[in-house]
Chains A and B, each alone.
Chain A
Amino acid sequence: MKILYFAWLRGKTGVGEEDVDPPAQIADVRGLVEWLKTRSAGHADAFADLSLVRVAVNQDHVQPDHALNPGDEVAFFPPVTGG
């Protein structure tokens, strides 16, 4: 599974992109976040306040209960500020 981080989430995790192989019992975005938090202190810090984090799966905005599949591209980022 490919994970992407943007804006300050990239700064806190220290990576822009990583390939991960989460355990099979992780079924949705919420579960993935809890598992990613265990990867490093930076990851835990990035996901400390989930009200500040938005997520996209396969480049579409989704909610935390969105179900995941092994080949998904999952991106984490703050609320967008373009325009």
Chain B
Amino acid sequence: MIRVQAEDFDPGAELSRFRQTTTDVGAVATFLGLVRGDGGLIAMTLDHYPGMTERQLEAIEAEARRRWPLADALVIHRHGRLLPGDNIVFVATASTHRQAAFEACEFLMDWLKTKAPFWKFEEHAQGGAWVEAKSTDDAAAARWE
């Protein structure tokens, strides 16, 4: 399941709900991404492409389900203006065994970071700037090609 939203989410509540929707599951892996407040960051605004964002995330989830035997998968991604320490993204995967859950969780994040149409704008005391994409993210995504 995919959710793209401006409002915050409660990772603990999401995990509790996620683990209850599935049976015959031996492993749940999760990833929580936060706004890192280093370098004097005041705020981070996530721009996105409504419609394409959901479409791409659904395609990435479908690809993860094709590659690993997942009982369930969840991706929540926020947009709008966020502050240091705020939740940005939550990924959960459930499978029979831990290896599939771990790998699928990592795959979802790696592909999300290079394919889902989100853009970060950072505000500092001296002004604001769009975050540039990292080649290390491309390399991380390419591992799964």
The residue of chain B having its C-beta at the shortest distance from the C-beta of A59 within the complex is B52
Given contacts A4-B49, A6-B117, contact A83 B133 (CB under 8 A): no
Q: Is the CB of B48 within 8 A of A82?
A: yes
A77 contacts the other chain (CB 8 A): yes
Q: Is the CB of B48 within 8 A of A81?
A: no
B109 contacts the other chain (CB 8 A): yes
Q: Is the CB of A56 within 8 A of B117?
A: yes
A-side interface size class: 10 to 19
Q: Is the CB of B51 within 8 A of A82?
A: no
Q: Is the CB of B133 within 8 A of A7?
A: no
The residue of chain B having its C-beta at the shortest distance from the C-beta of A58 within the complex is B52
Q: List residues of chain A with CB under 8 Å of any chain B CB.
A: 4, 6-8, 56, 59-61, 75, 77-83
14 contacts between A and B (CB under 8 A): A4-B49, A56-B49, A60-B52, A60-B55, A61-B56, A61-B115, A77-B117, A80-B117, A81-B132, A81-B133, A82-B48, A82-B112, A83-B89, A83-B113
